[in-house]
Amino acid sequence: MSTVGPVDLGPLGYGAAAVGNLYRAVDDESARRLLDAAWDSGIRYYDTSPHYGLGLSERRLGEMLRQRPRADFVVSTKVGRLLIPDPDGATRRDDDIFEVPADFRRVWDFSEGGIRRSLEESLVRLGLDRVDVLYLHDVERSPQGIPEAVDSGIAALVRMREEGLVRAIGVGTKDLGAVERAVRTDAIDLVMLPGRYTLLETPAKDVVLPLCQERGVGIVNVAVFNSGLLASPDPGEEARYEYLPVPADKLRRAQELARACRELGVELPTAALHFSARHPAMVSVVVGADTPEQIRQNVARMRSPVPDELWELLAERGLLP
């Protein structure tokens, strides 16, 4: 299943943080090749955010999408951070994980006025007249606290959906308590869930996934490689986990998973992608990529069959989370 209400996300989407210079600078031409590769590979769902490269991801994604038929793609962006011009920061690097000048600063704002302004500014950067999905972003990091950010933010999103400004609304957060609070409002369509249901670990399994099924909320599974740890057939110490160097226990488990997968002729990233989509609450899987080849690999992996024997083998060895 990949349809939520009027929105068909497709089984695999592209997360556009990389074209916002995540970890490293990417020039405009390379970013365009990356986005064209996603389109040419058949991907039609694209996710971005003002946070990604201080608007750079939205601008680059918009340049590609404006040349495509609007009815042929789905795009989501996020709200919760406003970008405020900061000319004094132009000579400094952004203090987050994006390799861009700090010529804007992020200001948390989950008020209705802030959310509406954020969407308006995103549409200008994207060069589009609408987005299809709007998520509250990283509510767990809001200085006003999760309850107020979730409650005020969702109330605003509901009104915007009623006005036809967006087709579907949701939250994107790794905080399972925040997800549960949002789902229990019975007002949202989607949850974007980063790294909480992966082949490595499934903390969302017992409460959040059944609750989403019960309330009819679709889950868009993201960070399914755990920030890169499961993205290699042979994970090593250089891998990242939760955007940081990988802890020894997580690396050992990933290596055990990789060895078991090889016994049945399956690469670890292929198993990770398929596992992330197996639960019936999942409506789409969104992955990032740094190169066109990685995009093509991910599409091919998602299309490759995985034998049921693999899940049986992993279960026998205590490796299914």
User: Catalytic residue positions?
Assistant: 52
What would you report as the CA-atom Rg of the chain, rounded to the nearest whole angstrom? 19
Taking the CA atoms of 39, 193, 106 and 111 in sequence, report the sign of the dihedral they define: positive
CA distance linking residue 2 with residue 44, whole number of Å: 12
- Picking from 317, 272, 264, the residue whose alpha carbon sits closest to that of residue 297 is 272
Contacts of 214 (CB under 8 A, 6+ apart): none
Dihedral sign from CA coordinates of 291, 292, 296, 302: positive
Measured CA to CA, the distance from residue 108 to residue 93 in angstroms comes to 20
Longest dimension (CA), the chain: 58
DSSP-assigned beta bridge partners for residue 219: 191, 282
Please name every residue paired with 45 in a beta bridge, in sequence order, or none if there are none. 74
Q: Which structure tokens are listed for 280? A: 């019936």
State the CB neighbour count (10 A cutoff) for residue 117: 14
Residues 191 and 182 sit within 8 Å (Cβ to Cβ) = yes
**How many degrees, rounded to 5, is the angle at CA 275 between CA 230 and CA 140?**
70
SS3 content of the chain, % helix, strand, coil (to 5): 40, 20, 40
Contacting residues for 192 by C-beta, under 8 A, at least 6 apart: 47, 76, 135, 170, 171, 172, 173, 219, 220, 222, 286
Q: How far apart are the first and last CA of the chain?
A: 23
Distance CA 208, CA 210 (A): 6
